[in-house]
């Protein structure tokens, strides 16, 4: 083996590694001692960490370490302490009526804060984080309510849902007039344009309003009412307020009339405790659309 320690670079005066490219020699410059010591200390620290704390995964568990530390256990303790702190307040919230909650500033603030959190966890996937809704999912910020917008009505809807299968759920659906052969395609187009006219929307050229009104009276009035104002007892929407759950263009209305609509709102009774359901009802009511 060639010893290059005596090979000194004439310019810098330092020894070289013996490597040379195009007349350029590689200097033999070791890492600083403090850096090398620090590097080895980190290795020692890592080994110590493996021994003391949980580190290595096993087939069905992991090494627990000498200290037996568990971050999950810490979180569980913190959550238990938090629930203990909240416990008395939630008991008071559950025992109070909706009217009492509205009158008590402390309970009202608690209900809104709790309701907002629960809404984000359970309702936002459909209604949106701001409760503005989407196609097929109602906007909870406006004054248009299928099943009523009072605090009691909102709580009933949250508790039992709509077409959820619960014994006390809201029942009612938009019939499929085309699919079931009740109306012919041309009649569906006519009544769709009549419905658009109720909201002051433009209609197809040559649209026969009298015929549309007749079809509406024979097939739609039973649920939506004479003037198309809707019926919250049946979950039938107001067709005159320019608020549309599935769209107001002619194609969307033809699809609705032809195929029907039967959206489902899950029942939260049994999934959430009564106090939490009250909190969610108060929060939704506070969004601005509650009556």
Residue 119 placed within a domain: yes
Q: Tell whether 128 and 198 lie within a shared domain.
A: no
282 and 158 within one domain: yes
Residues 202 and 147 both lie in one domain: no
Same domain, 164 and 198: no
Separation CA 113–CA 78 (nearest Å): 20
Angle at 180 between CA 253 and CA 144, to 5 degrees: 35
Please give the tally of structural domains in the chain. 2
- Tell me, yes or no, whether 251 and 270 share the same domain: no
Residue 218, CB-side half-sphere exposure with 13 Å CA sphere:
12
Residues 162 and 271 in one domain: yes
How much is the pLDDT for 277?
A: 96
Task: For residues 238 and 273, state if they share a domain.
Answer: no
Q: Is residue 145 part of a domain?
A: yes
Distance of CA 227 to the CA centre of its chain: 36
Residues 271 and 210 in one domain: no
Question: How much is the CA Rg of the chain, to the nearest whole Å?
Answer: 35
Q: What is the pLDDT of residues 200-240, one digit of tens each?
A: 999 999 999 999 999 999 999 999 998 999 999 999 999 99
Please check whether residue 258 is in contact with residue 188, taking contact to mean a CB–CB distance below 8 angstroms: yes
Residue 5, pLDDT score = 55
Secondary structure (H, E, C), the chain: CCCCCCCECCCCCCEEEEEEECCEEEECCCCCHHHHHHHHHHHHHHHHHHHHCCCCECCCCECCCCCCCCHHHHHHHHHHHHHHHHHHHHHHHHHCCHHHHHHCHHHHHHHHHHHHHHHHHHCHHHHCCCCCCECCECCCCCCCCCCCCCHHHHHHHHHHCECCCCCCCECCCECCCCCCCCCCHHHHHHHHHHHHHHCCCCCCCCCCHHHHHHHHHHHCHHHHCCCCCCECCCCECCCCCCCCCCCCCHHHHHHHHHHCECCCECCCECCECHHHHHHHHHHHHHCCCCC
Give yes or no for a contact between 62 and 54, defined as CB atoms under 8 angstroms apart.
yes
Structural domain including 250 reads 185-259
Question: Which residues of the chain have a pLDDT value below 70?
Answer: 1-6, 289-290
Residue 235 domain-assigned?
Answer: yes
User: Do 130 and 155 belong to one domain?
Assistant: yes
CB 126 within 8 A of CB 291: no
For residue 271, give both structure tokens: 């999934």
At 57, list the tokens.
């995964």
For residue 201, what is the domain's CATH number? 1.10.760.10
195 shares a domain with 117: no
Cα angle: 51, vertex 54, 58; to 5 degrees: 100
Q: What does the block give as tokens for 238?
A: 């107001």
The verdict on residue 18 lying in a domain is: no
- The reply to whether 27 falls in a domain is no
Q: Please report the pLDDT score of residue 62 as a whole number.
A: 82
In a domain, 25, yes or no: no
Are 157 and 202 part of one and the same domain? no
pTM for the predicted model, two decimal places: 0.71
């Amino acid at each position: 083996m060639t010893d290059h320690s005596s090979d000194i670079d004439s310019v810098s005066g330092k020894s070289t590694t013996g490597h040379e490219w195009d007349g350029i020699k590689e200097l033999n410059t070791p890492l600083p001692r403090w850096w090398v010591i620090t590097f080895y200390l980190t290795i020692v620290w890592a080994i110590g960490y493996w021994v003391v704390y949980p580190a290595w995964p096993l087939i069905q568990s992991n090494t627990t370490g000498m200290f037996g530390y568990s971050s999950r256990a810490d979180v569980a303790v913190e959550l238990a302490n938090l629930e203990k702190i909240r416990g008395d307040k939630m008991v008071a919230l559950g025992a109070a009526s909706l009217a009492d909650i509205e009158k008590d500033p402390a309970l009202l603030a608690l209900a809104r804060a709790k309701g907002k959190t629960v809404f984000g966890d359970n309702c936002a996937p459909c209604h949106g984080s701001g409760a503005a809704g989407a196609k097929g999912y109602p906007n909870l910020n406006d004054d248009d309510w299928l099943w009523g917008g009072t605090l009691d009505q909102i709580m009933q809807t949250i508790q039992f849902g709509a077409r959820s299968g619960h014994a006390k759920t809201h029942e009612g659906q938009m019939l499929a007039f085309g699919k079931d052969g009740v109306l012919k395609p041309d009649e569906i187009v006519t009544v769709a344009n009549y419905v658009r006219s109720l909201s002051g929307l433009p209609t197809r050229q040559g649209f026969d309003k009298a015929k549309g009104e007749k079809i509406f009276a024979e097939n739609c009035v039973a649920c939506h009412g004479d003037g198309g104002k809707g019926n919250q007892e049946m979950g039938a929407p107001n067709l005159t307020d320019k608020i549309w759950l599935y769209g107001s263009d002619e194609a969307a209305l033809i699809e609705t009339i032809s195929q029907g609509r039967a959206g489902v709102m899950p029942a939260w009774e049994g999934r959430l405790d009564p106090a939490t359901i009250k909190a969610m009802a108060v929060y939704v009511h506070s969004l601005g659309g509650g009556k």
